[in-house]
Amino acid sequence: MKKLYSFVMLLMMAKVALAQDITQGTWYNQEKTAKIQFFKQGDKFFGKVVWLKEPNENGKPRTDKENPDAKLKTRPILGLVNLKNFVQDGKGAWVDGEVYDPKNGKTYSCKMSLVSPVKLDIRGYIGISLIGRTEHFTKAD
């Protein structure tokens, strides 16, 4: 009986540990118009757009037309790395990153926190996190 209990506890702990890995699967943005895939490079975490509900505009791939840099206005949104340089801060928290919003062409300081295995809060802000906005991402798969 002790072995069965230990095995069940081990499985539960493994499930919790996996739930804290945002790089597993994809995440819907709040509006469910895009999916983000997180990946780790060195000790930093990044997120890129891997699916768009409406990938085309006027028959052509949707581009980063709101970007203030004229050279970047023609880059496609699909494949865009818009969450950058996050450092894991304990279990279920990532800090010191930045988020680029292709809807307005602006970049904000950002932090992320895993609220549950299927909900990730992304807080973009200017200066201090009290002045900002939180988006709620949900697990897509």
Q: CB-based burial of residue 113 (10 Å sphere; 0-12 exposed, 13-18 middle, 19+ buried)?
A: middle
Query: What count of residues does the chain have?
Result: 141
The model carries a pTM of: 0.84
What domains can you pick out in the chain, each with its CATH number? 21-139 (2.40.128.520)
d(CA 31, CA 56): 17
Per-residue pLDDT of the chain (141 residues; tens, 9 = 90+): 554 444 433 333 333 443 479 999 999 999 999 999 999 999 999 999 999 999 999 999 999 999 999 999 999 999 999 999 999 998 999 999 999 999 999 999 999 999 999 999 999 999 888 889 999 999 999
d(CA 88, CA 126): 20
